[in-house]
Structure 1
Amino acid sequence: MSCFQQLRQELRQLEAVFPKDHERFRVESASLDEVTCIFVSPTDDTFVIHCNINENYPHSSPMWFSESEDPVVSAAIENLANVSGASNLLIRLMKQLATSLCNMYNVPVHADILKLDAPMEQQNGEESSESEDDGMDSDLNEDADEDHFEMDEVTSERDKKKEEDEDIDTENLIVLERLKMNQRRDYLKGAVSGSVQATDRLMKELRNVYRSDSFKRGIYSVELVNDSLYDWNIKLQGVDPDSALYADLMVLKEKEGRDFILLNMTFKENFPFDPPFVRIIAPIINGGYVLGGGAICMELLTKQGCSSAYTIEAVI
């Protein structure tokens, strides 16, 4: 059985054992690259825990993290980092996580958790016969067909991503890869900043910026402050040649050798449902929508005027 098929089988079993209405432990969503689960404490507090599955699973262990600062949850996740070898299987790690949380909260380990085990073990039992082997032939063929179809899907997704990356300069691809590595490091250390939702959206926004025609033509450029996805410095270098602002920038260029507007854009953890905060760092601009300190006052940048459908490039 291939790694993809094994993972898919594990995900099916997890969703079957831990439905969304489970008393103690729930699998909210499950895909080939991420699983989100919820632990319900004895006081009915809920703790959301995320699991990122690497493409070379099960040879590398999944990465676990939670936005909760609960010490019990943090300790249970930290214990998973010490697991290696055959115990790397997602279904075993999930069983260990649920068991640890129950023990730490002094609640009985639910029967569903105790009976959970790797589905592959059922196929390695000593019970075998020629008739059973014959009966399994058709199942194996079906599994092979499903596996082939799934591999085609994965290959197609990778090819699509590769095509998208071809539109991005090597220097910017390095930035994206460095951000991914930093995120993984922070997850393992339990020092995650922001939220999963905001981080995922900002990664997509940054990738789209790098691919955009306006960015490539130098109308604007983007630099992350201290490699933070939540803090962008933006140089706006292309403005309407017929505008008064353009004329002012030409004067600025003659005096100071600078013909761009430097913006700072910061994001909160509930982005994109909260707008970014945008201010002008330089030059000093008087009038218009610019307030003291460089803050920009526009309806677009308020909760009432923003929309999660707006792209960062559109805002810029």
Structure 2
Amino acid sequence: MSVSGLKAELKFLESIFDPNHERFRIIDWKPDELSCQFNVTGEKLLIIHCNITESYPSTPPIWFVDSDDPSLAEVLERLEDVRKGSTLLLQQLKRLICDLCRLYNLPQHPDVEMLDQPLPAGPITQERKHGPSDEVTSEEEEEEEMGEQDIDLDQDLDHYDMKEEEPVDGKKSEDDGIEKENLAILEKIRKNQRQDHLNVSGAVSGSVQASDRLMKELREIYRSQSYKTGIYSVELVNDSLYEWHVKLRTVDPDSPLHSDLQVLKEKEGVDYILLNFSYKDNFPFDPPFVRVVSPVLSGGYVLGGGALCMELLTKQGWSSAYSIESVIMQINATLVKGKARVQFGANKNQYNLARAQQSYKSLVQIHEKNGWYTPPKEDG
């Protein structure tokens, strides 16, 4: 989807849910981020954030809320069920507002129905966006004009179709859209889990909660276009649902990292970055532990042993509503943004689990004390 198409979607949202809306408010937005408030009562406001990846709408937005309430985590998890449509962000937002109203026993707000309308063909007017009595600065007018020009120039690119035909009975099998070889993997995992529970020794690996969620994550990955088009691949280590090898096969073609991977392919026959994801029994309430296995990288927020310096992967920055595919795509973007480079000739043994865990532990301690640095907007 073009940037202007996404901007049109965001501006349409803002025109409905402005900062003075009685129930839901768009406080701030950028093409990769959305900040909102849900007014529970006059005194209680929920702060909700949304990260929009570069591959939107192929990769759904990532939602999180400033609260440890498990009921809110469940509300955000249900947004993962809304994965298709020409205005995915609008439909997820509709689901979010409706579910929050039900959670807090509030009446459904009529403005929610406006999210089912098609996007306006023309630009959002100043009167509609700001209200007839609001003053609009010349700088805002200039930004609006530039945005409107972008929309006009790219209007033909903004029409994308993510819809799939539904079965006649209107219900969709959970296995629809998954290749046969991947269905075989899922079935093998199910059999292994059944065998574990029948095992007399009682040595059951993982937890029911974590296993169910990981099966759901794996199924969604097998169904996703990013996986099918080879942006990344996933393999279970020793058939364990709790340890994955993820290969990042495609990075930004304009990045130095992309060029390095081409050279790596010529030298060693390897054209991917290998990541290891490991999960605990309390997943998804704790993040996966992620480390780079190979090749050795410099930059890209990669620490000693291969650990990753990302708030997203710490308890402080993690949300149980995050999908693993979104995490994979975010790591991909972070490596490029951090100007990661392959260190040809480096000692490959310097990346190992013990060193990565130690680096991660130190990282968490430092940031718990000092907080996380937020780069300027011009830095992305």
Quickly name the TM-score band, shorter chain normalised.
Answer: 0.3 to 0.5
More helix by share: 1
TM-score by length of 2: 0.40
Structure of greater relative contact order (alpha carbons < 8 Å, 6+ residues apart) = 2
TM-score by length of 1: 0.47
Larger radius of gyration: 1
